[in-house]
Amino acid sequence: MTIRPIGDDDIPSVVEMMLRNWDGVLARYHSPEIVQKFRGEVTPGWLKRQMGWKQVFVAEEPGEIIATGALADFGRPGSPKPSVSQFYVRPDLHGQGIGRTLMGHLLRVAREQGCPELHVPSSRNAVPFYAAAGFNVDAGQPDTADEITWMTLDMIAVGERPQGGRTEDGPHGGAGDGAPG
């Protein structure tokens, strides 16, 4: 498996994989209203805009995209909030360690960038995956109406411990963030 930055040619495959996760996985854990709200945002144009302000990566096997994940800053000026975002594994490949490997890559990049902690707005089904990777559920939950659970990983405390959960493989069936953000 190769992990690399997303390119424009990857957009159709990544959008299709995200939509398959919303239809086949996330729809089992979230209300129809939330699925409609966030699924409706997932378009090629939306992803292209996300690529302008997030570090989006893809995991690929020869000739096909099998997962995607991003690092983003969901903070405000002067108050950064480095976060995992848009984390999806192709639904038919869940449970094979792909999500764990991609998460390890994102954590290495975040560590190299000096992030003292990393956040994730998790979909309901992804909480166990992120917990297994060392994330803890935050005390304050500002996005409960969107069925999102915010979690935080203390990057300093974690150090070089092996990363990525050993529960089902890609959070959202995929979603690092239940919300397309």
Question: What is the DSSP secondary-structure string of 83-98?
Answer: EEEEEEE-GGGTTSSH
Cα 167 from Cα 129, distance rounded (Å): 5
Q: Whole-prediction pTM value?
A: 0.84
End-to-end CA distance of the chain: 26
Q: Residue 158: pLDDT band by 50, 70, 90 thresholds?
A: low
Choose the weakest-confidence range: 22-31, 55-64, 105-114.
22-31
Any idea which fold 2-158 has?
A: Aminopeptidase (3.40.630)
Mean pLDDT of 29-54: 93
With left for phi above 0 and alpha for psi between -120 and 50, is residue 180 left, alpha or beta?
alpha
